């Protein structure tokens, strides 16, 4: 389904006329008709104006935005959803990697504190923190 087809489908479902939608988003009825029939391409800016005007459910907005975000109009919604999930997974994996690096730095700092002056308040606190980190790592 193309963006134009989706606009037409949602517009008709919501009982909105072409003239009303066109006026609200600042284009002519003829231009909207050409978009809906696939004769004209739609800009991202105009697509967002339309999605914000139409009274869509969150799921409908998600489908619409997915087509805007991935303009390869021939992709199925399932492929688009998989692409978005992959992007989210990659971002989370990068976040986990960054957190692990920060934990390693913190652990190294604690070991230095513990070894620098044994039996001081700071070294005892460092030792306790190291033991907590070890227990957390053992759980994984």
Domain boundaries, the chain: 3-75, 80-139
Residue 80's pLDDT is: 63
Note the pLDDT of residue 60: 85
With a cut of 50, which residues of the chain have pLDDT below it? 74
- The rounded distance, in Å, linking the Cα atoms of 8 and 39 is 13
Please give the CATH topology (third level) of the domain spanning 3-75: 434 Repressor (Amino-terminal Domain) (1.10.260)
Q: What is the pLDDT of residue 20?
A: 95
* Tens-digit pLDDT profile for residues 64-85: 877 776 655 545 556 666 777 8
């Amino acid at each position: 389904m193309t963006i134009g087809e989706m606009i037409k489908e949602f517009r008709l479902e919501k009982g909105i006329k072409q003239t009303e939608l066109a006026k609200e988003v600042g284009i002519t009825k003829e231009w909207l008709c050409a978009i809906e029939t696939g004769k004209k391409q739609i800009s991202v800016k105009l697509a967002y104006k339309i999605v914000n005007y139409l009274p869509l459910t969150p799921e409908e907005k998600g489908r619409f935005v997915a087509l805007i975000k991935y303009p390869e109009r021939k992709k199925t919604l399932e492929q688009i959803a998989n692409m978005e999930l992959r992007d989210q997974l990659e971002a989370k994996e990068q976040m986990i990697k960054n957190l692990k690096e920060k934990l390693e730095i913190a652990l190294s700092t604690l070991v230095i504190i513990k070894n620098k002056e044994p039996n001081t308040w700071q070294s005892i606190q460092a030792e306790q923190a190291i033991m907590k980190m070890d227990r957390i790592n053992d759980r994984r």
